[in-house]
Structure 1
């Protein structure tokens, strides 16, 4: 999925998450087909993204890892071992920071708002 070309998506983003068991805030970097991030609950994000053929969306496959001792906003707890799941993400290239995006994860749905902070 990697992409060596600079895309209009490349940049730093904040993300505001809400789930069944709480809320969180994350920060992400999208650059040259790679996405990495972290959230206030201790979660880490690592993945890759591509633009759709029509250039209107990005599609990403992101591995979310929650270290032992933390709880996800979906209510799952990483008690004895870390939680690690694959999360598909599809976002429009042009979005408003107030747009809510529903993300279906293997441990439950979350809602997210993204805001681009700056280009890289």
Structure 2
């Protein structure tokens, strides 16, 4: 899925998350088909993304690794062993920072707002 082409979504983002058990904030970098990030609870995000055929969205596959011993905002506690889940993400290439994006994860739904801090 990774490519060496820049996309309109490439950049640094602050993300605001809410789930059934709480809220969090994270920081992400989208660049040339790769995405990495971290959240306030110590969770890590690593993945890849690509533009859809119509060029209006990105589709990403992101591996979320929660911090050991912490509870996620979906209410799931991280075991002593590092684990993680694959999270599908679809975002429009152009969005407003107030847009709420629903993310269906294997450990529960999350609502997210993304605010582009700067281009990469």
- TM superposition score normalised by structure 1: 0.97
Q: In the aligned structure 2, how far is the partner of 1:99 from the partner of 1:41?
A: 23
Q: In the aligned structure 2, how far is the partner of 1:6 from the partner of 1:80?
A: 38
| Count of paired positions | 120
**Equivalent in the alignment of 1:106:** 106
CA displacement at 1:41 relative to structure 2: 0.7
**Equivalent in the alignment of 1:60:** 60
Gap runs ≥5 in structure 2: none
**Residues 102, 112 of structure 2: 8 Å contact kept:** yes
**Equivalent in the alignment of 1:94:** 94
CA displacement at 1:119 relative to structure 2: 0.6
Gap runs ≥5 in structure 1: none
Structure 1 position 19 matched with structure 2 position 19: yes
Q: In the aligned structure 1, how far is the partner of 2:6 from the partner of 2:100?
A: 26
Structure 1 runs (4+) greater than 4 angstroms displaced? none
Deviates most, 79-88 or 48-57: 79-88
Give the aligned CA root-mean-square deviation in angstroms. Answer: 0.8
